[in-house]
Amino acid sequence: MIRFTISFIMMILLLCGVLIIEGFNPIMLFAFTPFVVAVGIPLFASLGIWGIRDLLDVFRHAFLSGKTGNVDKSVNICTFYERLFYLSGLVGTILGFSIILFRIDTMGSKSDICRATAYSLIPSLYGIFFAVIARMMNARIKNSKIS
């Protein structure tokens, strides 16, 4: 759990550090709407397939000792989440670009269009980020299953 937490923090710090070096404010990445799209789609889709107890078992299998329950199901859920995070990021980006195209005539300048385009790419970043986390959890579950 400690290694996972440290690697999670290091990923965030690395991303923020790169953005700071490039002269960008990392706070701009913490937008609510792209987060909701990138996380909400996989959450609600998984609740249509598995129960809340199954989803909580994934976290228990990945982070706690004394694992009980179906580990193979947790691996399948993590794989499902990883794929769905990629797809939800893509859906959020396409949705963002669609909104830009519908409102292009109301946008005043090139900088407004560029800012909106950059904002529409944030769901893809969230999707990739959470897919990496799902992949890490999947690897933790598989490694604990072997040992």
Range of 97-106, 127-136, 137-146 with top mean pLDDT: 127-136
- For helices 110-146 and 2-21, what crossing angle results, to 10°? 160
Q: What is the pLDDT of residue 77?
A: 92
Contacts with 95 (C-beta within 8 Å, 6 or more apart), sequence order = 37, 120, 123
Domain residue limits, the chain: 1-29, 31-146
Residue 67: which pLDDT band, with cuts at 50, 70 and 90? Answer: low
pTM of the predicted protein model: 0.83
List, for residues 97-108, the tens digit of each pLDDT value: 998 888 888 887
pLDDT one-digit tens code per residue, 19-62: 788 777 777 777 888 888 888 889 888 888 888 888 888 888 88
91 CB-near residues (< 8 Å, 6+ apart) = 37, 41, 123
The DSSP 8-state label assigned to residue 8 in this structure reads: H
Radius of gyration of the chain (CA): 18
